[in-house]
């Protein structure tokens, strides 16, 4: 199992547009990808679900752990979360 902790880069956090971009990218991978907000309720969110991502309530600067059996998936989703997807 691969995992990486990243800092949310989008100014609005992981809300509507950023969550949709992450979910669309995650759905391209065969393996499940989970996100957990550090300091949150520790309930993993399915990275392929924009609604679950938004429900995490991750804001700019929050830490999120990306986990999957597919290391390439972890790297790809982590890179998106670190970007300002609202730019």
Distance CA 64, CA 26 (A): 15
The model carries a pTM of 0.95
49 labelled catalytic: no
- Tens digits of residue pLDDT in 50-76: 999 999 999 999 999 999 999 999 999
**DSSP H helices in the chain:** 16-26, 50-56, 71-82
The domains located in the chain, with CATH, are 2-82 (3.30.1340.10)
pLDDT in the model for residue 84: 93
- Residue tagged active-site, from 10, 15, 45, 77: 15
């Amino acid at each position: 199992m691969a995992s990486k902790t990243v800092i949310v880069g989008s100014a609005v956090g992981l809300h509507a547009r950023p969550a949709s971009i992450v979910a669309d990218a995650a759905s391209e991978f065969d393996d499940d990808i989970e996100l957990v907000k550090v300091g949150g309720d520790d309930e993993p969110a399915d990275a392929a679900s924009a609604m679950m991502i938004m429900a995490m309530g991750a804001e700019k600067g929050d830490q999120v752990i990306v986990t999957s059996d597919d290391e390439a998936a972890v790297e790809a989703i982590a890179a998106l979360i670190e970007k300002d997807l609202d730019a």
